[in-house]
Amino acid sequence: MKYITKFNVVRYAETDQMQFVHHSNYLKYFEMARLEWLSSLGVSYAAMEKEGILMPVVSARLDFKKPLFFGDEFKVEVTLKKAPMATLEFDYEIVNQDNTIICEGGTVLAFLDSKKNRPIRCPKLMLDLFT
């Protein structure tokens, strides 16, 4: 499954002294896209957390190709790599307004019982969306 965000604009506060988007912001862009996609499917992180289900990122990978600069437009493509089990694995691609690939990466999120602080299987609500 794949989702592509609408265009976003790089804000000045997201850039560093070299006028590049600071590397830490790319993980934020990944999260923004992931949350937007899950929300569009009717999945709410807040509701899941109230039910005692947490989804921490347990692994992240970033491969930078070209920088983004203040004022650049970009969109994020997020792809679920496989049906969820005890984890969700996502791939990401960020492209700018010229459709140039800026960054590629991936994250792995685990399902965690907030009371026991132990891994759990994917909740049925999510499993039904992706299988």
Active site members: 16
> Alpha-carbon distance 119 to 131, whole Å?
20
**69 DSSP 8-state letter:** B
Strands (E), 44-83: 53-54, 57-64, 73-80
Backbone angles phi, psi at 20, to 5 degrees: -90, 155
Q: What is the largest CA-CA distance in the chain?
A: 47
> Alpha-carbon distance 39 to 53, whole Å?
16
**Contact residues for 116 (Cβ-Cβ < 8 A; gap 6+):** none
